[in-house]
Amino acid sequence: MKWGSHRLLLVAAIALVSSAHVGSPDTYFEGAAGPYPVRVIVRTPGVVPGLAQITVRLLTQRPVQRVLVLPVFWDPKTAAPPPPDVAQRVPGDSTLYSAALWLMRTGAYSVQLTIEGPGGPGTTLIPITAVATQRLALRTPLGILLFCLGSLLVAGAITLAAAAARESVLEPGAAPDRSDTRRARIAAAGGTVVLTLALLGGWAWWNAVDAAHRTGLYRPFHATVTFRTVGSDQALWLTIDDPAWVDPRYGRAPLIPDHGHLMHLFLIRDSGLAAFAHLHPVPLGTAMFQTTPPPLPAGRYRVYADIVQESGFMQTLVSTAELTAPPTTWRPADPDDAWLIGGGKSGSDNAPLADGSTMTWKRGAGPIVVNQDARLVFAVAAPDGAPATLEPYMGMAGHLVLTRNDGAVFVHLHPAGTISLAAQESFELRQPGDTIPGTLATRMQEREKHGNESLPAHHVVASPDGLVSFPYSFPQPGDYRLWVQVKRGGRILTGVFDVAVQEAAR
């Protein structure tokens, strides 16, 4: 098997343990809780029920009284939520707080963050997805300890049964005779048989539960992507053909628009990552989407598709497709579609843009290390060197797509982080009457039609200084490619950067 096939198998394997995004399970948010700017990281447990670890960084030196966190499950019928947990200040850092929250059910959650301070209480919601993605192994030392303790309990139970049969009917001070001893041996043998059957039954039950957990591990919906020739044009078709699409835990709920689109689809050429496209297919029914591919070079492409359901459940579909004949012309199906061939130079912090301007990555002098805040700050300068004014691109100052070269990590970032703003809005707008699938989705789509009036406060109108930043930390070491998209003069521009992410020092 060739290395290219190995890479594709790796992409598929990673997809089995991912929800929203690929190989990057943590949620990053940067925004405001009322008057208090914050950066929040939510590390989901990978099992349900499980403990999620919450880290809250105050991006202000203003003292606050309390930082409160509360898990909110997406269910309009839910009664009054329990009281929130108080996050504890991390020793040695007056702006850092941490807490652990139980996620008890599979599905869409949000972490309700409330900050109490001199400016009054401020609240925001950070949507997350709670799914079981792993099986926790029993560590060998703990297994040995449990085996020894269990053996003592079994031996003690058999000993007690034998002693009871031998001595329970004796007068005080009387010595057991041969019949008493024989009765004790029979009781010990019977107890051994009963306990052995109980242990075998428990072992079978445990294996059945473990097998059910294994088969119930979450995986993204299977999708099939094909390129078809329609007349003189080519079309890209994506079909969600997974039975889980109708699973009430993950499916059924209609899709809601995120940044004005029901799907954000990304094409990345597998060979050398030398071609990239960010497209927005239109739905044809409930499980099929279609768009026009740009004139990309022929080859095999990795396909990633971000979708958000009405419940706030977020996920990235993963597939591959073979483009045999590149389109000769392109009529974009959506004005927000964009593509790029080439770009990227290892170690370079400057990327030329198609309109003559330049994008610079202000990454700093130090290396980028796994699980540490990565300085993803980019500045766009006009051809004359002056800071460029960035226009909103789908309501944001910019979009960033990154992938590890082998496909083990894929993330679609915004200045607000990895969260879906559509999922955040679904929690903000839900009402007790939204129990019929499609009710909330219809209302949200109507809001989208009103343009900027429906956009939340954290959407960015423009960036006059040419700066755009993204909160993130890389989950795995390796070589990565980044595509940073901004809009200037009505044109979507893409800067490409390469970076090597190092292991944390031990």
- What does the H/E/C string look like for 43-112? ECCCCCCEEEEEEEEECCCCCCCEEEEEEEECCCCCCCCCCCEECEECCCCCCEEEEEEEECCCEEEEEE
Give me the phi and psi of 316, to 5 degrees please.
-115, 120
Q: Assign 3-class secondary structure to 268-297.
A: EECCCCCEEEEECCEECCCCEEEECCCCCC
Angle at 307 between CA 326 and CA 9, to 5 degrees: 60
Structure tokens at 80: 């009054």
Q: For residues 241 and 367, give the distance between their C-alpha atoms in angstroms, rounded to a whole number.
A: 42
Confidence class for position 317, pLDDT limits 50, 70, 90: very high
Confidence class for position 449, pLDDT limits 50, 70, 90: low
**Domain covering 343-415+460-506, topology:** Immunoglobulin-like (2.60.40)
- Residue 497 pLDDT more than 70? yes
Confidence class for position 80, pLDDT limits 50, 70, 90: low
Q: Is 347 helix (H, G, I), strand (E, B) or coil?
A: coil
Structure tokens at 326: 């590149």
Q: Is 427 helix (H, G, I), strand (E, B) or coil?
A: helix
Q: How much is the pLDDT for 344?
A: 67
Beta-carbon-side half-sphere exposure of residue 138 (alpha carbons within 13 Å)? 9
Distance linking the first and last C-alpha atoms of the chain: 36
Contact between residue 184 and residue 165 where contact means Cβ atoms under 8 Å apart: yes
Confidence class for position 15, pLDDT limits 50, 70, 90: very low
pLDDT 10s digits, 84-141? 999 999 999 989 999 999 988 888 889 999 999 998 999 999 999 888 888 888 888 8
Confidence class for position 77, pLDDT limits 50, 70, 90: low
pLDDT 10s digits, 41-65? 999 888 888 899 999 999 988 889 9
Structure tokens at 222: 């299977």
Scan for tokens 């009036």, then name that residue.
453
- Residue 467 pLDDT more than 80? yes
Contact between residue 223 and residue 317 where contact means Cβ atoms under 8 Å apart: yes
Confidence class for position 196, pLDDT limits 50, 70, 90: very high
Lowest mean pLDDT among 254-258, 415-419, 462-466: 462-466
Q: For residues 58 and 453, give the distance between their C-alpha atoms in angstroms, rounded to a whole number.
A: 29
Q: What is the mean pLDDT of residues 18-23?
A: 70
> For the CA atoms of the chain, what is the radius of gyration?
28
Angle at 374 between CA 373 and CA 378, to 5 degrees: 135
| Bridge partners for 409 per DSSP | none
Q: How much is the pLDDT for 359?
A: 96
**pTM, whole model, 2 decimals?**
0.84
Beta-carbon-side half-sphere exposure of residue 345 (alpha carbons within 13 Å)? 7
Structure tokens at 270: 């597998």
Q: What is the dihedral of CA 296, 299, 302, 308, to 10 degrees?
A: 40
pLDDT 10s digits, 363-373? 888 889 999 98
Q: What is the mean pLDDT of residues 419-440?
A: 83
In CATH, what is the architecture of 220-336? Sandwich (2.60)
Task: Give the number of other CB atoms < 10 A from CB of residue 344.
Answer: 19
Name the DSSP class of 377.
E
Confidence class for position 220, pLDDT limits 50, 70, 90: confident
Give me the phi and psi of 183, to 5 degrees please.
-65, -35
Task: Give the number of other CB atoms < 10 A from CB of residue 53.
Answer: 14
Q: How much is the pLDDT for 70?
A: 93
Per-residue b or e along 380-414, where b marks 16 or more CB atoms closer than 10 Å to that residue's CB: bbbeeeeebebbbbbbbbbbbbbbbebbbbbbbbb
Q: Output the CATH code of domain 14-130.
A: 2.60.40.10
Confidence class for position 392, pLDDT limits 50, 70, 90: very high
Confidence class for position 213, pLDDT limits 50, 70, 90: confident
Beta-carbon-side half-sphere exposure of residue 477 (alpha carbons within 13 Å)? 6
Contact between residue 340 and residue 483 where contact means Cβ atoms under 8 Å apart: yes
Which residues have a Cβ under 8 Å from the Cβ of 176 and sit 6 or more positions away?
166, 167, 170, 184
Percent of the chain with pLDDT over 90: 48
Q: For residues 62 and 177, give the distance between their C-alpha atoms in angstroms, rounded to a whole number.
A: 83
* Mean per-residue pLDDT of the chain: 85
